[in-house]
């Protein structure tokens, strides 16, 4: 289903703003928190001026058409962007489902956006033409609420069922059916009071300042993986695949860089992205060897891929997303076979977990990551997700431990 934009044209104004504290501190609370923040930079927003909701294999194309229509219909006479940086002007926060068969893909155009890049900050107000603009001063945020005592329960796929799915995937790969598949499972956390998305956002941002802390329509997390950034003609992506976590005195970085299993898994993910991008871009640059990205709970093999749009056939970020999702990093190799196996044996509706999340701008660019290290918040309940790349020599017990290590990021942030 697609929900139409506001029936009247939207008025957009971006102006300079003095902002001394963290971006997340300006979120007022109980206003539909939206976030795409890394360190001191990014965007936060609240309120809702328009919304797209979609499902199915055409969800990216439908979202692109909806967004272009909304941008084309903006009230040109009142459109003001006094800053002119990536993320200024009209923007929509985006979150798409992993599988086209799942409902929940959204673009949310907020009424208020606060952003910062470098030493410049700005305020964007988006309102239907004819309505009064928000007040000049930012609202005073309500106190951030902790959820109190947490009780955990199995989700749709408990750890023992996840282990069984991994073992079945390994059996099929050893039989030659495919090379890699990414399997996930979930966990439920129940709190004493309604969960405040800002509490989880703050906790994740403090623990993982090099990750992108996101919140869109109840999905809250911190992802280390930049799926795509489109700024002008420049396309960038950070591919993560291959994971280890601290254990005793082991040099995790050296062990990861020398692991044949993890290097093979990483190569599948990089090749998948490059093959999907190549028909749409020029000057594609792929590192010959990955680096190691170290986070507090795990380390990953990482490759930063760069390209430029072909000036004779420019495309939007949403068009690029349709081409690359799902990559081998979150689906598997060959991707059609891997996603079919996920549907057969995972036993989980991932929703927007492992789907693209971020923002798009009025020029068709923006930044989108992969929704990892995240939870879906609904009142007093948080649904946590974690997944692992499985190859033929994967050990099911080790994959269960890896998923638990990845889930620790959200568990610790929820606990405060």
Catalytic residues, by residue number, are 180, 225
User: Do 253 and 291 form a contact (C-beta atoms < 8 A)?
Assistant: no
CA angle 199, 200, 206 (to 5 degrees): 90
Rounded CA separation 182/165 (Å): 11
Among residues 389, 383, 397, which one has the least CA distance to residue 157? 383
| Other beta carbons less than 10 A from residue 296's beta carbon | 11
Q: Is 135 exposed, middle or buried (0-12, 13-18, 19+ CB in 10 A)?
A: exposed
E runs forming strands in 192-233: 212-216, 219-223, 226-231
Sign for the CA dihedral angle at 56, 161, 373, 146 comes to: positive
42: β partners: 37, 116
Q: Is 294 exposed, middle or buried (0-12, 13-18, 19+ CB in 10 A)?
A: middle
Rounded CA separation 318/64 (Å): 6
DSSP-based three-state secondary structure for 156: coil
For 195, 204, 374, the CA distances from 30, given in Å and listed in that order, are: 11, 19, 20
DSSP state, residue 77: G
Is the peptide bond between 351 and the residue preceding it cis, with omega within 30 degrees of 0? no
| Other beta carbons less than 10 A from residue 322's beta carbon | 21
For 51, 227, 234, 278, 315, the CA distances from 310, given in Å and listed in that order, are: 31, 19, 10, 11, 9
DSSP state, residue 366: E
Rounded CA separation 366/120 (Å): 18
**Residue for token digits 């700024």?**
231
């Amino acid at each position: 289903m697609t929900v139409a934009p506001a029936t009247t044209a939207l008025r957009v104004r971006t102006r300079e703003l003095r902002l001394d504290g963290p971006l997340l501190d300006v979120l007022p609370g109980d206003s539909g928190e939206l976030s795409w923040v890394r360190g001191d930079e990014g965007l936060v927003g609240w309120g809702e001026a328009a919304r797209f909701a979609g499902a199915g294999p055409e969800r990216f194309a439908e979202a692109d058409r909806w967004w272009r229509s909304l941008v084309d219909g903006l009230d040109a006479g009142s459109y003001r962007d006094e800053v002119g940086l990536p993320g200024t002007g009209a923007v929509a926060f985006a979150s798409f489902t992993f599988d086209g068969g799942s409902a929940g893909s959204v673009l949310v155009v907020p009424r208020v956006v606060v952003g910062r890049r470098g030493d410049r900050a700005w305020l964007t107000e988006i309102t239907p033409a004819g309505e009064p603009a928000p007040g000049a001063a930012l609202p005073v945020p309500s106190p951030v609420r902790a959820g109190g005592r947490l009780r955990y329960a199995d989700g749709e796929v408990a750890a023992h069922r996840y282990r069984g799915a991994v073992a079945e995937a390994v059996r099929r790969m050893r039989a030659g059916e495919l090379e890699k598949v990414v399997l996930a499972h979930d966990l439920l956390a129940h709190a004493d009071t309604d969960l405040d998305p800002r509490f989880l956002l703050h906790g994740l941002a403090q623990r993982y300042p090099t990750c992108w802390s996101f919140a869109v329509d109840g999905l809250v997390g911190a992802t280390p993986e930049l799926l795509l950034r489109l700024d002008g003609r420049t396309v960038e992506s950070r591919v993560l695949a291959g994971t280890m976590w601290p254990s005793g005195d082991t040099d995790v970085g050296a062990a990861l860089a020398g692991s044949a299993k993890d290097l093979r898994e990483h190569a599948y993910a990089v090749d998948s992205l490059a093959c999907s991008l190549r028909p749409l871009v020029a000057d594609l640059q792929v590192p010959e060897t990955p680096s190691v990205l170290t986070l507090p709970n795990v380390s990953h093999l990482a490759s930063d891929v760069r390209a430029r749009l072909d000036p004779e056939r420019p495309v939007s970020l949403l068009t690029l997303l349709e081409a690359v999702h799902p990559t081998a990093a979150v689906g598997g190799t060959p991707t059609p076979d891997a996603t079919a196996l996920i549907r057969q044996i995972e036993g989980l509706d991932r929703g927007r977990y492992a789907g693209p999340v971020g923002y798009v701008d009025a020029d068709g660019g923006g930044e989108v990551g992969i929704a990892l290290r995240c939870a879906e918040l609904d009142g007093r309940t948080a649904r946590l997700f974690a997944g692992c790349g499985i190859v033929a020599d994967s050990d099911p017990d080790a994959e269960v431990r890896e998923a638990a290590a990845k889930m620790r990021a959200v568990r610790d942030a929820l606990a405060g």
